[in-house]
Amino acid sequence: MSKETIRFGKSAVTTQEFVAEGHTFCTGCGEALALRLACKALGENVIIGNATGCIEICTSPFPVTSWRVPWIHTLFENTASVISGVEAGLKILMNKGKRPEQDIKCVAMAGDGGTSDIGLQALSGALERNHNFLYLCFDNEAYMNTGIQRSSSTPYGASTTTAPAGKFSIGQITKKKNMVAIAAAHDIPYVATACPSYHFDLMRKVRKGAEVEGPAYIHILSPCPTGWRYSSNLTIEISQLAVQTGIFPLYEIENGRYRLNADPPELKPVEEYLKPQGRYRHLTSDNIERIQRLVNEDYARLKKKAAAFPM
Amino acid sequence: MSRRVALEAAHAVAEAARMADVDVIAAYPITPQTHIPERLAEMVADGELSAAYIPVESEHSAMSACLGAAAVGARTYTATAGQGLELMHEVLYAASSMRYPIVMAVCNRALSAPLSIWGDHSDAMATRDTSWIQIFCQNSQQAFDMTLWAFRVGEDPNVLFPVMVHFDGFHLTHVTEPVVLPEQEEVDRFLPKLDYPFALDPHKPMTHGAFGIPDVYSEAKVAQEIALRKSKSVILQGFQEFGDIFGRHYYPVEPYKTEGAQTLLLTMGSFGETAQIAVDTKQSKGESVGLLNLRLWRPFPFQELREAVKNAQKLIVFDRCISFGGPGGPVCSEVRSALYNERERPTVVSFVGALGGREMSPQDFEYVIDRGREIAEKGSEELFETVGIRGEVTGIRG
């Protein structure tokens, strides 16, 4: 593997690929791009624990693997607990002289279902116990691997296979669970949101999350052409729109202090984001108006917090 | 010099884990297991044991953290009971199928509902097919001994399976008995340092837990089955080495006064010691009765069992678990199955009792022997009979 880096202005990015080609992600997968960038930011001194889900399935069909770094998958809901064991195990083995001293980053990865639904307890436990690890949630806003079933991270108004839009339903009738706030409520040193269309921002945050002492949580929006039903060439555009409309603001919380990373002077109308996506096709103008209102409220609340506790 | 001290089984196994120099303990409290993690946490806090103690938020996470610790090459220990073992259930399969040599104490406890913190073997039986090596203990000394043995066997590079050390909740966990503790030097001689050959390491990237498409899954499972059965030779070698160093000898099936006995009673776990008293009484009256202790539950010791019962006419099996809607007590149905194709075999009778902490007295076992002989002679339409349980139903028909 070449160990060269390419410079983009102030940023240097390795040409090394830690997730090998030949994986089975769908064309245009936002998660695959986010994963590739995150792994570039992490480098090779890492042990990754992966929950069951798209990333796991698309990278590890025995007898082949895409992983050029040590990687462990066991079950769906326990990845934060597994990485707790990895982290505690490495630390004590090094203390006892049973393993050579080495700076190994412990990283857990899971989807939105593996994080905000079935894995929430394990994650909360690992954050509370203050393990030195980074947790990456790749949020494609539904159970995509099993066929687009709703999760608690599915946004209001989206149609999924288990919360379909119909004569009597808008689809998802609940608001997207605020995982970032839940992670932040554990008073951990670093929490951030990221998005694969903002490459350098994503890589910087992953590096930062891996470097801080203690737990770090990064919530990465991972647009899914298959589940969101948009043309696979629009992934970057859609994830940019998610940020520019304020639907998925980019921000970080360091030791309780906020920083908005992209704060456009004026938010674009949410309709621009919703329109290209088949999961929102059924929405009426009233529905869209309601979503706009919700987004405005949430964004204002976030700005207020950022102003009250600036970095 | 070894020393003889008074310890309850819970503290005895904690002492064994300390002498084994475990690296990581991940545990969640549940009665009647609590004295084990408490004692281990105390040892870590006092510097008597250099280990990471992970106070996880559930048993599911306890076993999951054990997976991670074992994957980086740590000697890993946990303990649980009853509901905790059930909550771990899917993780148990991951531990054995991914070949992590974790050792776990199981303080056998009944399952809800109704809630019961007291002992029986329902929890153990629900994990029967999880591909863990499983061993049962009769007293605190054995709980100590089998814990050391479990690390020796599970971590053997020819084995690499997790091991459950079962001992009865309350009847052992909370009972103080004399235990002989060995010298550290003897333990070190018996138990080599863990050198897990597949430890995750950035210098040598490895993928643990790739998924199995239909084209490979079957082969993976058959290979696992063969590997588990092949662990038998190391299991026996472990018993032998243990006996050589510590002077206490263990076997997969252990006879008690079985010489020439026409009727054999078979038990598993601590109630065997109560049954011994019943057998003594019977023999003093000139009755031809002996006792078998089934120590090794997985892999099941077919050959040793057949050998142990080959001269008996009647075999009475006592279970502390109901296999609901099934063929009888779960131990008994396995015993029956093991003997079915033998040309000569004893008549096998199934008894179930001592559920959820219900006591069995030596007199109860005398009743089981008497009634069991009667059933074996006259035959019965019932799959199994109950003992010590109120109500008009004493037998269950199929």
Are B60 and A77 within 8 A, CB to CB?
Answer: yes
Rounded distance, CA A144 to CA A149, Å? 7
Rounded distance, CA A283 to CA A291, Å? 10
For residue B18, the SS3 value is helix
Helix ranges (H only) for chain B are: 9-19, 35-45, 59-71, 82-87, 89-97, 122-126, 140-154, 184-190, 214-246, 271-284, 302-309, 330-339, 362-378
* Out of A62, A78, A96, closest to residue B61 by CB: A78
- The predicted pLDDT at position B393 comes to 83
Rounded distance, CA B9 to CA B33, Å? 10
Q: The tokens of A262 are what? A: 């992209």
Q: The tokens of A33 are what? A: 């791009």
What DSSP character marks residue B197?
A: T
Specify which residues A56 forms β-bridges with: none
Return the CATH fold of A5-308.
Rossmann fold (3.40.50)
How does pLDDT run across B277-333, given as a tens digit for each residue? Answer: 999 999 999 999 999 999 999 999 999 999 999 999 999 999 999 999 999 899 999
Q: Taking a C-beta distance cutoff of 8 angstroms, is the pair B355, B384 a contact?
A: no
With a cut of 70, list the residues of chain A below it in pLDDT. Answer: 1-3
For residue A115, give how far its alpha carbon lies from the nearest alpha carbon of chain B (Å).
Answer: 14
**Residues 56..115 of A with a Cβ closer than 8 Å to B: which?**
56-57, 60-65, 67-75, 77-78, 80-93, 95-96, 98-99, 102, 104
How does pLDDT run across B46-90, given as a tens digit for each residue? Answer: 999 999 999 999 999 999 999 999 999 999 999 999 999 999 999
Rounded distance, CA B163 to CA B171, Å? 21
How does pLDDT run across B203-259, given as a tens digit for each residue? Answer: 999 999 999 999 999 999 999 999 999 999 999 999 999 999 999 999 999 999 999
In DSSP notation, B260-304 reads: T-SEEEEE-STHHHHHHHHHHHHHHTT--EEEEEE-EEES--HHH
A90 sits in which H/E element: helix A79-95
- B332-351 CB burial, b ≥16 within 10 A, e <16: bbbbbebbeeeeebbbbbbb
C-alpha distances in Å from residue A114, one per residue of A5, A74, A75, A117, A126: 33, 13, 10, 6, 14
Rounded distance, CA B361 to CA A19, Å? 63
For residue A44, the SS3 value is coil
For chain A, the structural domain boundaries read: 5-308
Alpha carbon of residue B263 to chain centroid: 25
- The predicted pLDDT at position A206 comes to 98
Rounded distance, CA A51 to CA A73, Å? 6
Are B70 and A85 within 8 A, CB to CB?
Answer: yes
**What domains are defined for chain B?**
3-246 (3.40.50.970), 255-397 (3.40.50.920)
Rounded distance, CA A74 to CA A50, Å? 8
Rounded distance, CA A139 to CA A143, Å? 10
B340 Cβ contact partners less than 8 Å away, ≥ 6 residues apart: none
- The predicted pLDDT at position B1 comes to 77
Are A70 and B60 within 8 A, CB to CB?
Answer: no
- A91-130 CB burial, b ≥16 within 10 A, e <16: bbbeeeebbeeeebbbbbbbbbbbbbbbbbbbbbbbbebe
* Out of A75, A90, A92, closest to residue B91 by CB: A75
